[in-house]
Amino acid sequence: MDNTNITILKIGGSVITDKSADDGAARINQIERIASEIAGFEGKLIIVHGAGSFGHPQVKRFGLTGKFDHEGSVITHMSVRKLNTMVVEALNSAGVNALPVHPMACTVSNNSRIKNMFLDQIEEMLANGFVPVLHGDMVMDIELGTSVLSGDQIVPYLAIQMKASRIGIGSAEEGVLDDRGEVIPIINNGNFDKIKAYLGGSANTDVTGGMLGKVLELLELSEQSNSTSYIFNAGNTGNISEFLNGKNIGTAIGTRTI
Ligand SMILES: Nc1ncnc2c1ncn2[C@@H]1O[C@H](COP(=O)(O)OP(=O)(O)O)[C@@H](O)[C@H]1O
Ligand SMILES: [Mg+2]
């Protein structure tokens, strides 16, 4: 298929859920507002959303980053599915032909890194005018039984496999911030060592590394594929539609500048 001009957009769990809650609390107004911004976009689009309070507290409660647990794996997967259903329904209500793609059903990891993701249905969805909607999930793991798969890991994997031309990670901050709270315009291998002191995990429950986790994934992506991705605030009305319309906002990770 024609793989050109695919956009991958991640929507942080920090935006579409109340991440300070210890069980799934959706921010339905934000989900609907984001769906309407996405509805204006015409191009090929893959959406990945985070798990927020539908995944992180459950993973923590069952200790799933350290041990295998049947019940915890099922409960966490079923919980993130619920959030995914809300996102997919809101997108369809806004006029986007969105379809769910659950990583649990198409991915195998090896020691928490994606070993293989079945992409044929995503390719066919894009070719036929659908918007696949993936999410952070529990997945089968050949070493660990099951493991947590972060949306932040799905984005660069898909970007490479699908040769995406535009990659955006919408989270709850204006970008990657320095020690004074200012947005760092660009992060690459040249300045990462200076900047990493400013990077931390999440202020809320996040088992997949918070902002540092995102930056590490996207730096690795820029090395492997020479692409630039953007971390911006998806909580601000208008940012998602501006990003989809080609405006570079937030922090650029990679070689290109804002
Ligand atoms: N230098 C930094 N700049 C911005 N956010 C940071 C930084 N260091 C740590 N963080 C934290 O990382 C959070 C974003 O990561 P996370 O909570 O995992 O978001 P998401 O739900 O979008 O994946 C921010 O809200 C903030 O609490
Ligand atoms: Mg996160």
Tens-level pLDDT at each residue, the chain (258 residues) = 455 699 999 999 999 999 999 999 999 999 999 999 999 899 999 999 999 999 999 999 999 999 999 999 999 999 999 999 999 999 999 999 999 999 999 999 999 999 999 999 999 999 999 999 999 999 999 999 999 999 999 999 999 999 999 999 999 999 999 999 999 999 999 999 999 999 998 888 898 899 999 999 999 999 999 899 999 999 999 999 999 999 999 999 997 554
Report the relative pairing of strands 107-110 and 98-100 from DSSP bridges.
unpaired
Binding residues: 10-14, 51-52, 56, 151, 210, 214
The number of the ligand nearest the C-alpha atom of 187 reads: 1
What pLDDT score does 1 carry? Answer: 46
Annotated binding site for substrate: 51, 56, 151
Pocket of ligand 1 (CB under 6 A): 12-14, 50, 52, 171-173, 176-177, 198-200, 202-204, 206, 210-211
- Cα(210) to centroid of ligand 2, in Å? 5
Is residue 157 a part of any domain in this protein? yes
Residues with Cβ < 8 Å from 247, sequence gap 6 or more? none
149 CA distance to ligand 1 middle (Å):
17
In a domain, 220, yes or no: no
Are the C-beta atoms of residues 168 and 230 closer than 8 Å to each other?
A: yes
Domain that holds residue 78: 6-171+231-246
20 within domain boundaries: yes
Is the residue at 36 inside a domain?
yes
**What is the 13 CA–ligand 2 centroid distance (Å)?**
7
Q: Is residue 88 part of a domain?
A: yes
Task: Please work out, in degrees rounded to the nearest 5, the angle formed at the alpha carbon of residue 75 by the alpha carbons of 70 and 78.
Answer: 125
Most informative mutation of 14, 148, 216, 218 for ligand 1 (most atoms within 8 A of CB):
14
* Ligand with minimal distance to 212 CA: 1
Distance between CA atoms of residues 225 and 27, nearest Å: 34
C-alpha span between 194 and 171 (Å, rounded): 22
Is 123 among the domain residues?
A: yes
Indicate the number of domains in the chain.
1
Give a yes or no: residue 75 inside a domain: yes
Token pair for 9: 């957009």
CA of 247 to the centre of ligand 2 (A): 23
Domain of residue 79, CATH code: 3.40.1160.10
Does 21 fall in a domain? Answer: yes
pTM: predicted TM-score of the whole model, two decimal places: 0.96
Residue nearest to ligand 1 atom 18, measured at CA: 210
Cα distances from 3 to residues 115, 132, 155, 161, 174, in angstroms, run 22, 15, 16, 10, 30
